[in-house]
Structure 1
Amino acid sequence: MERFSWVEVFRGLAILEVVLHHVSGRFLRELPQGSPEWLFLAAVNRTLHFAVPAFLFLTAFVIGASFYREFRLGRYLENRALRLLWPYLLWSGIYLLFRYWDTGAFQPERLPHQLLWGKAYFHLYFLAVALQLALLLPLFRPLLFRRPHGAWFLLLGVGGTLALYFLNRAYRFLPYPGSFVLWYLPAIALGLYLASRLERLPQILRLWPLSLLLVGVGLGGYLPLALAVLQGLRVDTFHYQAFHWIYTSGMAFLLFLLARRLDQSRLRPFLAFLGRYSLQIYLVHPMVVRLLEKYPDFPEPLGLKPAFLAYYLLALALPLFLAHFLSRVGASRWVFGR
């Protein structure tokens, strides 16, 4: 972290995308399916579907780079337990209670299943995947020290992902592929590759036109399929996933480049502030959105467009206020693990 001042900017950009993605998903239910307005908002929503691979890419890069310094497995696992495992368990419990209050649904017999796959609430699967990645990354430390050719990272990302896809297609052993860390191997392998080439980053970043081309190809193939899925149509799952992997991995690289550029801009203080509290915003904002949806006296009377902005600003501001308050009173570590 101390070596990469742009990391918080990256997280700030990514959390802005996350909240916009979830708020746009909420307002899709307000529009007639298939209308021009619905198609526009649905296209925005599906385009903003790269945050989880981007966060995992960043984690692989930062932790992979840290392996070149002193590494103690016990200290590493203790740190991950505080920063990931504790908030995951605590907020899974909070959201199970919130869901019971909201819908009356509670199934104690499903608790192990929900905790294993991050299904206590719809967004918590990311922390389950992040925990899996934290356990997986030390296994790559020897590989990073050998600094193999980039083709090996490409084989890991592409070959490993294709093998997992076809194995799961044949045997159906993953009930929720998106809750399994190896489903994101392309973005993770890209992060590890960049971590192994820190001294060559300026030259590698000049390849951004290639990344932009991949993003265009990936989005061009993925977006029509994603819109069809939203409308309940059947699509080829292999094409859907292949284009999604291409698009999200390319976007992670472009976000990496953008964060480094914005780290030297006037936007840095604002984005870094958001990034510093990105986990807190991620954990709390779905509750804010649901409460606004459940009690629509405000801001729905303002109309769809003003209400959208009100949702978005409140979904950012209220978690930030809570995070800042808990930090000031010394309780943040107990609630958010940091």
Structure 2
Amino acid sequence: MERFPWVEVFRGLAILEVVLHHLLGRFLREVPPETPLWLLLAALNRTLHFAVPAFLFLTALVIGASFWRSFSLGRYLRNRALRLLWPYLLWSGVYLAFRYWDYGVFQPERIPHQLLWGKAYFHLYFLAVALQLTLILPLFLPMVRGRVHGGWFLLLGLGGTLLIYLLNRHYRFLPYPGSFVLWYLPAIALGLYLASRLELLPRLLRLWPLALGLALLGLGLYLPLALEALQKRPVNTMHYQLAHWLYTTAMAFLLLALAHRLAQTRWRPLLAFLGRYSLQIYLLHPMVVRLLEKNPTFPEPLGLKPAFLIYLVLVLGLPLLLAHLLARVRASLLLFGR
């Protein structure tokens, strides 16, 4: 962390994106559909839809950077089991119980399926994908240490993703493509490429105007299709995915460039604090949103803007408070693996 002060800043920015994305989705249900306000909220919601590729990009970059040190597969797997597998299993159980309390639904025969694809609750699929990424990243150690030509990383990102897309289009072997790690190969390949050229990172980050142009191009292609899909209208899935991959991969790079810059400013302590507790916020915030949603007398009657602000303060504040208290009583490792 001392060597890479931008890591926690990146996580802080990304977790803010996650929370805002989910809150915008929540308030879409409060607005009459297809009105100008609904379209504005929907556009913001779809624009803030790059957190999973961004977090996977960062994971590939940070773990790829660790490949330059002595690498022990056993130590690596033990570390990832503590930091990912245990919290995933524990909080899947917590959310299965919460779902039963909330909706009265519990299907024990579906638990293996839910754990495999991260479907114990809607947001847990990211941890399932992160676990899959943990298993495949050591396979790329020779690519990173060998500093292979960037064309191979490009082939991995574009060719591998298109291959998975076409195979799934014809054979339908993925019930949930978004819960499969190879669906995010462009962002992962970019993270591994940067890890293989770590000493050049400051120079490579100067390419942010190019990334911004690609992100705007991707967003221009992706957003109209995303809004159509949100309104349950048919879209060309290949066009949608290509645009989404371009947009989210470029945004991951831009987020890194921004984090690298903000890590040298007075914003670093605040964003790094959010980043340090990003997993706790990620795991707990859907429960806070749902508990607020179950009380229709507050805060929605105050109006859209005050209600949104109250949600934002509580959705960030309550998980942070709980995370701080659990760290004080030394229970954080047991509940969150860190």
TM-score category by the smaller chain? over 0.9
The one-letter amino acid paired with 1:224 is: P
Tell me the residue number matched to 2:335: 335
Which stretch has the larger CA shift, 54-63 or 300-309? 300-309
Cα deviation code 1:74-109 (max 9, x no counterpart): 111000000000000000000000000000111110
* Unpaired segments ≥5 residues, structure 1: none
Deviation at 1:319, TM superposition (A): 0.4
Deviation at 1:297, TM superposition (A): 2.3
Cα deviation code 1:302-327 (max 9, x no counterpart): 11110011111110000000100000
**Does 1:41 pair with 2:41?**
yes
Cα deviation code 1:99-141 (max 9, x no counterpart): 0000011111000000000000000000000000011101100
Q: How does 1:100-179 map to 2 (within 5 A)?
A: 100-179=100-179
For 2:170 and 2:91, the matched residues in 1 are separated by 34
Paired positions, count: 338
Deviation at 1:208, TM superposition (A): 1.1
**Identical amino acids, percent of aligned pairs:** 77
Tell me the residue number matched to 1:271: 271
Tell me the residue number matched to 2:75: 75
The one-letter amino acid paired with 2:4 is: F
For 1:99 and 1:216, the matched residues in 2 are separated by 38
TM-score, normalization: structure 2? 0.99
The one-letter amino acid paired with 2:43 is: A
For 2:141 and 2:274, the matched residues in 1 are separated by 30
Cα deviation code 1:255-313 (max 9, x no counterpart): 00000000011111100000000000000000000000011222122111100111111
For 1:209 and 1:304, the matched residues in 2 are separated by 35
Deviation at 1:227, TM superposition (A): 0.4
**Does 1:91 pair with 2:83?**
no
Which stretch has the larger CA shift, 82-91 or 206-215? 206-215
For 1:158 and 1:46, the matched residues in 2 are separated by 23
Deviation at 1:145, TM superposition (A): 1.4
Q: How does 1:50-61 map to 2 (within 5 A)?
A: 50-61=50-61
Deviation at 1:142, TM superposition (A): 1.2
**Does 1:306 pair with 2:306?**
yes
**Does 1:189 pair with 2:189?**
yes
For 1:304 and 1:200, the matched residues in 2 are separated by 46
Please identify runs of 4+ aligned residues in structure 1 that moved more than 2 A: none
Tell me the residue number matched to 1:291: 291
* Unpaired segments ≥5 residues, structure 2: none
Tell me the residue number matched to 1:250: 250
For 1:320 and 1:126, the matched residues in 2 are separated by 20
Deviation at 1:203, TM superposition (A): 2.1
For 1:268 and 1:207, the matched residues in 2 are separated by 22
The one-letter amino acid paired with 1:295 is: N
For 1:313 and 1:45, the matched residues in 2 are separated by 18
Deviation at 1:202, TM superposition (A): 2.2
For 2:89 and 2:203, the matched residues in 1 are separated by 42
Q: Secondary structure at the match of 1:235?
A: coil
Tell me the residue number matched to 2:230: 230
The one-letter amino acid paired with 1:92 is: S
Deviation at 1:15, TM superposition (A): 0.3
The one-letter amino acid paired with 2:6 is: W
For 1:263 and 1:145, the matched residues in 2 are separated by 27
The one-letter amino acid paired with 1:232 is: K
For 1:68 and 1:2, the matched residues in 2 are separated by 17
Cα deviation code 1:164-197 (max 9, x no counterpart): 0000000000000000000000000000000000
Tell me the residue number matched to 1:216: 216
TM-score, normalization: structure 1? 0.99
For 1:207 and 1:268, the matched residues in 2 are separated by 22
For 2:16 and 2:144, the matched residues in 1 are separated by 31
The one-letter amino acid paired with 2:178 is: G
Deviation at 1:2, TM superposition (A): 3.5
Cα deviation code 1:227-268 (max 9, x no counterpart): 001111000000000000000000000000000000011111
For 1:140 and 1:2, the matched residues in 2 are separated by 25
Q: Give the alignment's Cα RMSD to 1 decimal.
A: 0.6
